[in-house]
Amino acid sequence: GEDVEQSLFLSVREGDSSVINCTYTDSSSTYLYWYKQEPGAGLQLLTYIFSNMDMKQDQRLTVLLNKKDKHLSLRIADTQTGDSAIYFCAEQAGDSGYSTLTFGKGTMLLVSP
Amino acid sequence: DTEVTQTPKHLVMGMTNKKSLKCEQHMGHRAMYWYKQKAKKPPELMFVYSYEKLSINESVPSRFSPECPNSSLLNLHLHALQPEDSALYLCASSPRTGGDTEAFFGQGTRLTVV
């Protein structure tokens, strides 16, 4: 299987911007995703980007994709304490034809007041 | 309705018990998935159903038995589990089985095997 790599921990102050980085290995991935998981909860789809795009913005979230370097980032503007959670990037598992996702290990974001 | 609903939210079972996890969606999605998530780990795919047929089984032990009675429901039958099977079990669905479609996850069932 392919590995999706993320840094494990990020700490920011409320109001700052947060940038969570991810590298993936499967160049055939058509969609790349960001999910948020709060403690004890399921996964919440935050946003996704199609592989022929290099940027997508959705309110406070900006996704940047560098397909050449297989690098994906999620920027959260004006980070709030409610943004504290684990953030997973995920890529489509090759050309299986299904939305089978390979997840990174997750980045724990801690936002302090 | 844009939800994937899983029941129960929490389950404690003994190693000789038989129990079932349930997942339901009413979004008309034709692909449904079971993932397993151990503590502090990412989710890992277990099964994929496409149009109510089992399409992918990621070498999951037979003590886990999936079932898709109709296009809205997905069950996971559990029998003779081990303590190491304790995890968060996540159900997901997607509109179709093409690769270009997002998956929506339920809140999960937290399973403890004693």
Q: Nearest-CA distance from B49 to chain A in Å? A: 9
Could you tell me which residue, A92 or A33, shows the higher pLDDT?
A: A33
Query: Considering only alpha carbons, which residue of chain A is nearest residue B57?
Result: A100
Average pLDDT in chain A: 89
Reported residue count of chain A is 113
Q: pLDDT of A66-109, one tens digit each?
A: 989 999 999 999 999 999 999 999 987 655 556 678 899 999 99
Contact B33 A104 (CB under 8 A): no
Q: Nearest-CA distance from B31 to chain A in Å? A: 8
Q: Looking at this protein, which amino acid is placed at residue B6?
A: Q
Residues of chain B with pLDDT under 50: none
Contact A99 B99 (CB under 8 A): yes
pLDDT at A73: 97
B76: which residues sit within 8 A by CB, 6+ positions away?
B20, B21, B23, B34, B47, B64, B65, B66, B67, B89
Q: Look at the alpha carbons of B2, B8, B10, B16 in this order and tell me if their dihedral is positive or negative.
A: negative
Contact A92 B99 (CB under 8 A): yes
A64: which residues sit within 8 A by CB, 6+ positions away?
A54, A55, A72, A73, A75
Q: Nearest-CA distance from A42 to chain B in Å? A: 4
Contact B18/A at CB under 8 A: no
Nearest to A92 by CA among A109, A72, A68: A72
Q: Which of residues 34-73 of B touch A (CB under 8 A)?
A: 41-45, 48, 50, 55-56
Contact A99 B33 (CB under 8 A): yes
Query: Considering only alpha carbons, which residue of chain A is nearest residue B47?
Result: A100
The two three-digit tokens of residue B38, written as one number: 């151990």
B74: which residues sit within 8 A by CB, 6+ positions away?
B22, B23, B24, B32, B34, B49, B66, B67, B68, B91, B93
Q: How far apart are CA B39 and CA B59, in angstroms?
A: 21
pLDDT at B103: 83
Mean pLDDT within A39-66: 91
Contact B42 A31 (CB under 8 A): no
Contact B110 A104 (CB under 8 A): no
Look up tokens 């929506």; give the residue.
Answer: B104
> Which residues on B lie below 8 Å from A105 (Cβ)?
41-42
Q: How far apart are CA B96 and CA B2, in angstroms?
A: 15
- Cβ atoms of A22 and A98 within 8 Å: the answer is no
Q: How far apart are CA B31 and CA A70, in angstroms?
A: 28
pLDDT at A23: 94
pLDDT at A97: 56
The two three-digit tokens of residue B55, written as one number: 């399409």
The two three-digit tokens of residue B100, written as one number: 């270009």
Other Cβ atoms within 10 Å of B39 Cβ, number = 7
Q: pLDDT of B48-75, one tens digit each?
A: 998 899 988 989 999 999 999 999 999 9
Q: Residue A1: which pLDDT band, with cuts at 50, 70 and 90?
A: very low
- Provide the number of CB pairs (under 8 Å) joining chain A to chain B: 72
pLDDT at A91: 86
> Which residues on A lie below 8 Å from B74 (Cβ)?
none
The two three-digit tokens of residue A109, written as one number: 């974001």
Q: How far apart are CA A26 and CA A68, in angstroms?
A: 12
